[in-house]
């Protein structure tokens, strides 16, 4: 026995149960309980009801009637079947699937949502964390706006999620991107304070140039707006970078008048004015010497001390023709001590800082080194002369010196009062006569002039009290073997 139902719009059907002197019950098979309902109307009737079939497949179930007081009786099953239903497809789509906004966009953009399936509705919202993205739904439209974006490097992006109200229908997303803001061209320089240089200053100044969306150049100009050759500019910046540094240096001012100019940082970008930093340099000196009278060395016979620094030649070195000495001689009223790498004088007296060249002085195993006797003439040298330029028995002429408290490679006279330098002068011309006595005491007669023409004369009598020999003995290099001559080409056909 069987009952059949259409896919939808069904009335209930009945089953008549004929039972004589038997109690009975009914049961619906497990899976059919979701759509098949059976109720006992009276002692002989079952009412069978089905819900509409919204699936695309035919379905069936079983109603089983069983005797409750006679287990030996076989149950009776009735098959209930229902035709397949017509399935409605539900879906949503969005158009467009992506939106793009400029950094300063204020106008809304729209997205159209198309819903397929009767009664299907949806909601739209920006994904979590996208507080800059604003969504408003009305009808089948979504109005989308964004906040202004100030970042100038990276774009930002987020999704709008459109969610159907029906389970099993896929949600859709709309990708929203916003472009970074365009950089506003700008140019700043730090510091912009006026630069003041001494006539002989070698220190540099650094300007930090910060540029946004513009390129720039640095120029040095004089007071009349012409190129200032005495102001030297060095620009440094990393590849692909707009910002950078400008290092400012000045050449020594040999003029007796101060001079002025300016550093100009400019760009061709419209609306950005040049940035100008004033540069001034003090007047040069007529003389390096600060003496106002002739000097007679009266406190160095005997001297307070005698220090030398020497780099002797290797014993096997026959190519070196001269040796370089740097000496300091100081008066009896001075004490010389080392303080943090700088030699400091206390007391009052005269100091001679002498750099000179002698005939070649070789290393010796006893490590005893003597200044050769003879007359030494003052001579001008380059700042860093090569060994080939050294002339034995010459004194290196004094030149501009920023620090007279350290060992220097040229020659100066310095007067000290209570530990402070009060006068100084370069050894500019003249001679010194060196004689070594039997007891290793030197007698050195000075007959110098400074660059202003003042005499610096006197006699130093002293043994060497301190020395520093810059040397380590090296073995003689192996002689190079002559190269084997190549075989001569015997010629074509040989």
Instruction: Give pLDDT, residue 230.
Output: 96
pLDDT in tens, 23-43: 889 999 988 999 999 999 988
Cα(365)–Cα(384) distance, integer angstroms: 30
Instruction: Give pLDDT, residue 494.
Output: 31
pLDDT in tens, 288-304: 999 999 999 999 999 99
- Kindly report the average pLDDT of the chain as a whole number: 91
Instruction: Give pLDDT, residue 490.
Output: 46
Percent of the chain with pLDDT over 70: 96
Contact 77, 122 (CB under 8 A): no
91-178 against 186-281: fold identical:
yes
Q: Which CATH superfamily is domain 186-281 in?
A: Immunoglobulins (2.60.40.10)
Residue 331 has pLDDT above 90, yes or no: yes
Q: What is the mean pLDDT of residues 228-239?
A: 94
pLDDT in tens, 395-442: 999 998 878 888 889 999 999 999 999 999 999 999 999 999 989 999
Alpha-carbon dihedral of residues 199, 200, 203, 205, nearest 10 degrees?
Answer: 20
Rg (CA), the chain: 53
Residue 263 has pLDDT above 80, yes or no: yes
Q: Does domain 91-178 have CATH number 2.60.40.10?
A: yes
* Closest among 141, 469, 155 to 323, alpha carbons compared: 469
Which CATH architecture fits 2-82?
A: Sandwich (2.60)
Domain ranges for the chain: 2-82, 91-178, 186-281, 295-469
Instruction: Give pLDDT, residue 318.
Output: 80
Residue 144 has pLDDT above 70, yes or no: yes
Instruction: Give pLDDT, residue 320.
Output: 83
Instruction: Give pLDDT, residue 432.
Output: 98
Cβ neighbour number for residue 222 with a 10 Å cutoff: 16
């Amino acid at each position: 026995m069987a009952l059949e139902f259409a896919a939808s719009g069904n009335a209930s059907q009945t089953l008549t149960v004929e039972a004589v002197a038997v109690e009975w019950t009914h049961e619906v098979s497990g899976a059919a309980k979701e759509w098949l309902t059976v109720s006992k109307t009276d002692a002989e009737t079952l009412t069978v009801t089905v819900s509409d079939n919204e699936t695309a497949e035919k379905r069936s179930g079983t109603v089983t009637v069983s005797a409750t007081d006679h287990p030996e009786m076989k149950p009776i099953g009735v098959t209930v079947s229902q035709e397949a239903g017509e399935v409605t497809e539900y879906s949503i789509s969005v158009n467009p699937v992506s939106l793009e906004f400029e950094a300063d966009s204020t106008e809304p953009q729209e997205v159209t949502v198309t819903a397929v399936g009767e009664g299907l509705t949806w909601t739209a919202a920006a994904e979590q964390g996208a507080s800059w993205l604003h969504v408003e739904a009305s009808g089948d439209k979504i109005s989308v706006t964004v906040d202004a974006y100030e970042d100038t490097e990276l774009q930002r992006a987020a999704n709008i999620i459109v969610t159907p109200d029906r389970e099993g229908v896929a949600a859709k997303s709309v990708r929203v991107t916003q472009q970074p803001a365009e950089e506003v061209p700008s140019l700043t320089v730090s510091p912009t304070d006026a630069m003041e240089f001494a006539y002989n200053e070698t220190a540099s100044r650094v300007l930090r140039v910060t540029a946004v969306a513009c390129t720039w150049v640095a120029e040095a100009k004089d007071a009349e707006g012409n190129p200032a050759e005495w102001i030297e500019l060095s620009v440094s910046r990393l590849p692909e970078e707009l910002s950078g540094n400008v290092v400012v240096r000045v050449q020594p001012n040999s003029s007796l008048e101060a001079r002025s100019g300016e550093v100009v940082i400019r760009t061709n970008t419209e609306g950005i004015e040049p940035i100008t930093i004033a540069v001034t340099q003090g007047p040069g000196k007529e003389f390096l010497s600060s003496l106002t009278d002739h000097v007679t060395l009266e406190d160095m016979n005997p001297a307070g001390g005698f220090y030398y620094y020497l780099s002797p030649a290797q014993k096997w070195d026959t190519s070196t023709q001269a040796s370089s000495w740097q000496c300091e001689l100081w008066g009896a009223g001075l004490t010389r001590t080392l303080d943090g790498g700088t030699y400091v004088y206390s007391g009052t007296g005269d100091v001679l800082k002498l750099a000179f060249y002698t005939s070649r002085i070789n290393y010796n195993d006893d490590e005893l080194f003597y200044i050769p006797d003879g007359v030494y003439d003052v001579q001008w040298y380059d700042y860093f002369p090569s060994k080939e330029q050294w002339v034995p028995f010459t004194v290196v002429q004094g030149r501009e010196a920023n620090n007279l408290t350290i060992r220097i490679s040229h020659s100066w006279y310095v007067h000290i009062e209570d530990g402070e330098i009060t006068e100084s002068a370069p050894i500019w011309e003249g001679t010194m006569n060196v004689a070594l006595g039997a007891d290793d005491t030197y007698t050195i007669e000075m007959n110098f002039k400074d660059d202003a023409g003042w005499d610096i004369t006197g006699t130093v009598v002293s043994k060497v009290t301190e020395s520093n020999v810059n040397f380590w003995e090296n073995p003689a290099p192996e002689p190079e073997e002559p190269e084997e001559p190549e075989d001569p080409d015997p010629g074509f056909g040989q």
